[in-house]
Amino acid sequence: MSKSLLLIAAAVATVSSCASQNARQSSEEVKHYCAEKFADHRIDPIREKILIPISIDQPQPIEILANRQRPTGDEKRALLALAEAREACNRYADAHLGAPPAYRAASQDRVTAALSDLYAGDTTYGDFAKTLLFIGDRDKMAHEDMERAFHERERWRDLDAWN
In a domain, 112, yes or no: yes
What's the CA gap between 158 and 137, in Å, rounded?
33
Contacts 24+ apart (CB under 8 A), 45-50: 45/74, 45/75, 45/77, 45/78, 46/71, 46/75, 46/78, 46/79, 46/82, 49/75, 49/125, 50/82, 50/125, 50/128, 50/129
Closest C-alpha to 126, from 77, 58, 70: 70
In a domain, 152, yes or no: yes
In a domain, 69, yes or no: yes
In a domain, 33, yes or no: yes
- Domains of the chain: total: 1
In a domain, 121, yes or no: yes
Q: In b/e form, how buried is each residue of 90-110, taking b as 16+ CB within 10 angstroms?
A: beebeeeeeeeeebeeebbeb
Per-residue pLDDT of the chain (163 residues; tens, 9 = 90+): 445 544 454 444 454 444 455 656 789 999 999 999 999 999 999 999 999 999 999 999 999 999 999 999 999 999 999 999 999 999 999 999 999 999 899 999 999 999 999 999 999 999 999 999 999 999 899 888 888 888 887 777 766 655 5
- First CA to last CA across the chain, in angstroms? 31
pLDDT at residue number 9? 47
pLDDT at residue number 51? 96
In a domain, 36, yes or no: yes
Range of the domain at 113: 29-160
In a domain, 117, yes or no: yes
In a domain, 24, yes or no: no
pLDDT at residue number 117? 98
pLDDT at residue number 161? 59
